[in-house]
């Protein structure tokens, strides 16, 4: 039996959870919904990473996962603590991460793959895993886009990053089918 702290703190037994700097909110709060959607995306990308035979693709997917952890940290911060978070040493999504995605997109598009309209996922396990990750990414994107109407600002680079991730996952899935 472990002598370390328990994961079961019981503080959430009342249906609340903590944001990054301690503010308690309901577990169905829009920010928690958004963080949860990105956690699901991270897990789906992990599944895609585990199924791909391509080491370079595994590395790219792992970098995206690390970026998603940074994104979730930022979303888990109350609007009143946004400035504090911005000044913190926590990793943040920015132009370099966006440029990395743009370069990966350009490299895939340079292959001149053939695809016609909507994809029908399931050609093989790696492609299906990437399509599951893509759909999780679009759900997370919808949760992110909804936050400003709920009083939580979202930096434009986060919206750009998430849109690019979903686009990249779509292209990776199409590449995995060929």
Q: What is the pLDDT of residues 22-49, one digit of tens each?
A: 788 777 889 999 999 999 999 999 999 9
The pLDDT value given to residue 114: 76
Q: Which domains does the chain have, with CATH numbers?
A: 16-177 (1.20.1200.10)
DSSP string, 105-139: HHHHHTT-----SS--S-SSHHHHHHHHHHHHHHH
Per-residue pLDDT tens for 121-139? Answer: 889 999 999 999 999 999 9
- At 46-85, the pLDDT tens digits run 999 999 999 999 999 999 999 999 999 999 999 999 999 9
Exposure string for 152-177, b = 16+ CB within 10 A, e = fewer: bebeeebebbbbbbbbbbbbbbbbbb
Cα(89)–Cα(21) distance, rounded to whole angstroms? Answer: 14
Average pLDDT score over the chain: 91
């Amino acid at each position: 039996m472990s002598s370390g702290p328990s994961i079961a703190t019981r503080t959430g037994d009342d249906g609340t959870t903590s944001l990054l700097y301690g503010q308690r909110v309901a577990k169905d709060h829009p920010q928690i919904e958004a963080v949860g959607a990105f956690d699901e995306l991270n897990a789906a990308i992990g599944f895609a990473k585990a199924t791909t035979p391509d080491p370079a693709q595994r590395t790219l997917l792992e970098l995206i996962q690390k970026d998603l952890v940074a994104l979730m940290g930022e979303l888990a911060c109350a609007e009143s603590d946004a400035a504090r978070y911005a000044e913190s040493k926590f990793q943040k999504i920015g132009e370099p991460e966006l440029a990395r995605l743009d370069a990966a997109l350009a490299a895939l598009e340079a292959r001149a793959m053939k695809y016609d309209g909507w994809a029908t996922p399931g050609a093989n396990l790696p492609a299906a895993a990437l399509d599951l990750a893509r759909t999780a990414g679009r759900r997370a994107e919808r949760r992110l886009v909804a936050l400003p109407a709920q009083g939580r600002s979202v930096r434009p680079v986060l919206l750009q990053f998430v849109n690019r991730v979903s686009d990249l996952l779509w292209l990776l899935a199409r590449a995995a089918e060929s």
